[in-house]
Amino acid sequence: MEESTKKVIALGVIVVCLVLAGVITYKTSRAKGPDLRRFEDKMTWVKCRNPDCQAVYQVNVKDYLEYTIKHKDPGVRGTPPLICRKCGKPSVYRAIKCEKCGFIFELDSIPRNFEDRCPRCDYSKIEHDRKLAVPAEGR
């Protein structure tokens, strides 16, 4: 094969690779947001922080995530509050139901602890699961 033919083929391969890299970058970098369809049938607990209300109820996880993404303030750390169904104030945050005693409380109720530590009975499923994962001789 002649030297000039090799150069043309190499240049063609380089151009094809650059075009392919551009297409891949374009397809994967478009801001389309997360796919929340997997959460359509899941529910999560929420609790109102308003001391006059203290409402506790469940909301659809997909709706909750869509709301928090839409209303997120980049200058503020944390999740934006939902509007309470009962009192109408922006004071509703994600909560969890204790598997041991059934108490519903806000995540991270006990600072510097497991996020699911129950303030009523002190149970944490995360802690429980971690203890089960450690072999008996490691305890």
Whether 62 and 124 share a structural domain: yes
Domain assignment of residue 5, yes or no: yes
CA gap 105, 119 in Å, rounded: 8
Q: Given this model, what pLDDT does residue 47 score?
A: 97
Q: Which residue has the higher pLDDT, 85 or 73?
A: 85
Whether 55 and 19 share a structural domain: no
pLDDT digits (tens, 9 = 90+) for 9-46: 888 889 888 888 888 777 766 556 677 778 888 999 99
How many domains, the chain? 2
Whether 103 and 88 share a structural domain: yes
Distances (CA, A) of 77 to 68, 72, 74, 80, 99: 12, 9, 7, 9, 29
Domain assignment of residue 123, yes or no: yes
Domain assignment of residue 139, yes or no: no
Domain assignment of residue 138, yes or no: no
Whether 84 and 129 share a structural domain: yes
Which residues form the domain of 83? Answer: 37-133
Q: Given this model, what pLDDT does residue 39 score?
A: 81
Whether 43 and 102 share a structural domain: yes
Structure tokens that stand for 42 in this block = 């899941």
CA gap 88, 137 in Å, rounded: 53
Whether 26 and 60 share a structural domain: no
Whether 110 and 57 share a structural domain: yes
Whether 49 and 85 share a structural domain: yes
- Mean pLDDT (the chain) is 88
Whether 48 and 18 share a structural domain: no
Whether 66 and 108 share a structural domain: yes
